[in-house]
Amino acid sequence: MTTAKPGPIIPPEAAPLRTLTVTMAVMCTLACLAIGALTLINRAVDQWSHGLSSEATVQLRQMQGVDPQAELAKLQTLLGQTAGIAAVTVMDPKDAARLLEPWLGTGNTADLPIPRLIRLSLDETHPPDLEALANRITIEVKGASLDTHQRWQAELTRMARSLSLLAYAILALIAASAVAMVIFATRTVLDANRQVVDVLHLVGARDGYIARQIDRRFLATGLYAGLMGVGLALLIFLILGLSGRVSGEGLAAASRSLLFAPPTVSLTSYAALLAVPVAATAIALITSRLTLIRMLRNVL
Amino acid sequence: MVRLDAVGLRYGGGPEILKDITFRLDPGAFCFLTGPSGAGKTSLLRLLFLALKPTRGLISLFGEDVTALPQPAIPLMRRRIGVVFQDFRLLDHLTTFDNVALPLRITGQRREAYAQDVMDLLAWVGLAHQADAFPPVLSGGEKQRAAIARAVISRPELLLADEPTGNVDPALARRLMHLFLELNKQGTTVFVATHDEQLIRQTGAPALHLEHGQLRAA
Ligand SMILES: Nc1ncnc2c1ncn2[C@@H]1O[C@H](COP(=O)(O)OP(=O)(O)OP(=O)(O)O)[C@@H](O)[C@H]1O
Ligand SMILES: [Mg+2]
């Protein structure tokens, strides 16, 4: 009897698919890098808004004809009466002066009317009404003002938003070019097998049957390229993470935090990375299937 | 079974190859098609296996108007037709066995279900020893027999053959004709285009003559 396994209906000539595998793997790597950046941005926004909104600062400027100690006492009483403030720390004037040293030089600050800084830790579960508090402080304590860091925080958040929009745009572009590549490769495969497809049609094969013979390979290509892309991206993160000196602390630390964050945090980022091969497979399969069905219908 | 009504065909903007072709094949008929080279025999057969649409006129197969056939119904109709192509159209990347089995395989049948039938048929056309060979290494006559085996493996209701004995010796030609007659006895309608006058006489079946785009009884 003859060989046990029937030969493949479409010849396994793989050249267009090999090119597609390589380019799709590269695009998947880029997608993973974009996702890594997105993850870091989102985490940073979380930390900023968290860290900053759990704190506020009161500045008490020295004013002529006003006793700073009396105003400070008044301020402390007022803050003590306000619900939602967990702790009040009055910064030592020397510490405050030290903060200015980089700009003014050592020992030059003695005569300057440096404002007193009072740090407030806010109760995050029951935060005070910061707007009302700011009003009271300005009215009741001479030279005092509340800085809630909100403006600073809004600025950072806005910047981070634009960065993550950019990352999403990059992901969309990568997906779009992957679709275009798959369409192109599908056409190439179909053109190379025009004769075979004609014969299949003439012996009564359905378009769906012929399409399945071909898009199976695209499914494998997408999956393989996706996994290669993720692997390559993880390798890049690892190399960056291990080479702190070369790549600069910032990038290295960022890569490390991507790879080795505690499970609760890293779970989502790993899930996002694993979505890349899934998306690559889906794009390859669906795009080639639709292209095949459309093209096969046009040949009689 | 087959009905053509005032069918005309031209390729692109060229001359009309077929003009006002009108004829019918009854179920169970056995009929030859003759005519000089370039008369349009292959073109007429291509109309019949739905590889071409007529420029004008009506074609109906199995009682259905094929010009009005919806796209999804075309594969199903083609499965009822076996075709032997003048240029064989074997798939070079598949073995003789797989080539012959193709019409069964594309309907979703499993290899175990058809393997014996395919081997029997290959033995009948004298190709059993070439079952695992690929078409590029087959002789012209062997390719022709493989093409014939592929056309008849699914026991089609209509068999269209274009010069099916052009590459074999007279003895083998008679043997292949015998296969066609055997199928015809079991109910297959057979329509064979050929130049071989002797074969037509030996078979004793009626022939239609195509010339200058017109069809007449030979
Ligand atoms: N695809 C095509 N495009 C344009 N002209 C074609 C095409 N196929 C065939 N023709 C023309 O149609 C005419 C009939 O060709 P056809 O192949 O039907 O002849 P035939 O009777 O089968 O000839 P033969 O006996 O040599 O096989 C020829 O003049 C040929 O040039
Ligand atoms: Mg011909």
DSSP readout, B155-175? --SEEEEESTTTTS-HHHHHH
Q: Taking 70 as the threshold, does the pLDDT of residue A245 lie above it?
A: no
In this predicted structure, what is the pLDDT of residue B54? 93
Rounded to the nearest angstrom, the minimum Cα separation between B42 and chain A is 15
* One domain for residues A217 and A198: yes
Q: How does residue B89 score in pLDDT terms, banded at 50, 70 and 90?
A: very high
* One domain for residues A22 and A81: no
In this predicted structure, what is the pLDDT of residue A4? 66
Are the CB atoms for B101 and B118 separated by under 8 Å?
Answer: yes
**What distance in Å separates the CA atoms of residue A80 and residue A69, rounded to the nearest whole number?**
16
Full strand arrangement of the beta sheet holding B81-84:
B81-84, B158-162, B189-193, B30-34, B207-211, B214-217
Ligand 1 pocket mutation, candidates B7, B16, B42, criterion most atoms within 8 A of CB: B42
* One domain for residues A266 and A131: no
- A104 lies in some domain: yes
Question: What is the amino acid identity at position A270?
Answer: Y
Are the CB atoms for A229 and A28 separated by under 8 Å?
Answer: yes
- Give B103 Cα–ligand 1 centroid separation in angstroms: 26
Rounded to the nearest angstrom, the minimum Cα separation between B153 and chain A is 11
Question: Which chain B residue is nearest to residue A12, measuring alpha carbons?
Answer: B93
- A157 lies in some domain: yes
Beta-strand pair A116-122/A55-60: antiparallel
The tens digit of pLDDT for each residue in A43-78 reads 888 777 766 677 888 888 888 888 888 888 888 888
* One domain for residues A173 and A67: no
Q: Taking 70 as the threshold, does the pLDDT of residue A246 lie above it?
A: no
In this predicted structure, what is the pLDDT of residue B43? 95
* One domain for residues A171 and A245: yes
- For chain A, the domain total comes to 2
- A108 lies in some domain: yes
Question: Which chain A residue is nearest to residue B97, measuring alpha carbons?
Answer: A2
Closest CA to ligand 1's atom 22: B42
Residue where a domain stops, chosen among A142, A167, A190: A142
- A133 lies in some domain: yes
- Give B42 Cα–ligand 1 centroid separation in angstroms: 7
In this predicted structure, what is the pLDDT of residue A107? 66
- A274 lies in some domain: yes
In a mutational test of the A interface, the residue from B52, B94, B116 whose CB has the highest number of chain A CBs within 10 Å is B94
- A89 lies in some domain: yes
**What distance in Å separates the CA atoms of residue B218 and residue B22, rounded to the nearest whole number?**
15
* One domain for residues A34 and A159: yes
ipTM metric: 0.92
Residue where a domain stops, chosen among A142, A169, A203: A142
- Give A149 Cα–ligand 1 centroid separation in angstroms: 85
Q: Which ligand is nearest to the CA of B85?
A: 2
In this predicted structure, what is the pLDDT of residue A109? 64
In this predicted structure, what is the pLDDT of residue B117? 94
* One domain for residues A109 and A137: yes
The tens digit of pLDDT for each residue in B45-81 reads 999 999 999 999 999 999 999 988 888 899 999 999 9
Beta-strand pair A116-122/A85-90: antiparallel
- A184 lies in some domain: yes
Q: How far is CA A138 from CA A65, A122, B136, in A?
A: 17, 19, 96
Q: Which ligand is nearest to the CA of B37?
A: 1
* One domain for residues A180 and A251: yes
Mean of the pLDDT values across residues A201-230? 93
Q: What are phi and psi of B194, to 5 degrees?
A: -160, 155
Q: How far is CA B148 from CA A35, B143, B160, in A?
A: 58, 9, 10
Residue where a domain stops, chosen among A88, A122, A142: A142
| CB-CB neighbors (< 8 A) of B78 in chain A | 201-204
The verdict on the CB of residue B46 being under 6 Å from ligand 1 is no
* One domain for residues A33 and A101: no
* One domain for residues A169 and A138: no
* One domain for residues A24 and A129: no
Do A6 and B111 count as a contact with CB atoms less than 8 A apart?
A: yes
In this predicted structure, what is the pLDDT of residue A160? 87
- A148 lies in some domain: no
* One domain for residues A134 and A281: no
Q: Which ligand is nearest to the CA of B195?
A: 1
> Domain of A176?
15-49+153-296
Question: Which chain B residue is nearest to residue A212, measuring alpha carbons?
Answer: B106
Q: What is the DSSP letter of B67?
A: G
